[in-house]
Amino acid sequence: MLFQIFDAFKPRLHDSNSKVNQVALEAMHRMIPLLKDNLSPVINMLIPAIVDNNLNSKNPGIYAAATNVIQALCQHLDNSLLLQPFCTKAQFLSGKAKQDLTEKLA
């Protein structure tokens, strides 16, 4: 069930319409404290959708929403669940996104 929900939700996290993208990130930020470690089955699918394009976005609302989501993940999920997906993404990112994710890893 969780996979079906997030399979449908994931494309909104990198929607070409910036308003849809931002609202999806803000919704994700609100979901994380509720779902916590129950997100573990879908975390490898979510991290790239949250990080790709959003952490390097020139749109300040999208960038802020993405950093809030990353912060919420770090606060509410077991860090061991985040280590591998964060490391994998940090290897292939550039610019501010790479810096932000590397700081979270540290």
pTM, full prediction:
0.93
What is the residue-averaged pLDDT of the chain? 94
Show Cβ contacts of residue 37 under 8 Å, excluding neighbours closer than 6 positions: 77, 78, 81
pLDDT tens string 62-99: 999 999 999 999 999 999 999 999 999 999 999 999 99
Instruction: Answer yes or no: is pLDDT of 51 > 90.
Output: yes
Q: What is the Cβ-side half-sphere exposure of residue 45, based on CA atoms within 13 angstroms?
A: 15
* pLDDT of amino acid 1: 84
Helix, strand, coil % over all residues of the chain, rounded to 5: 85, 0, 15
Tokens encoding 29: 């930020």
* Number of structural domains found in the chain: 1
16 — pLDDT class (breaks 50, 70, 90): very high
Containing structural domain, residue 44 = 1-103
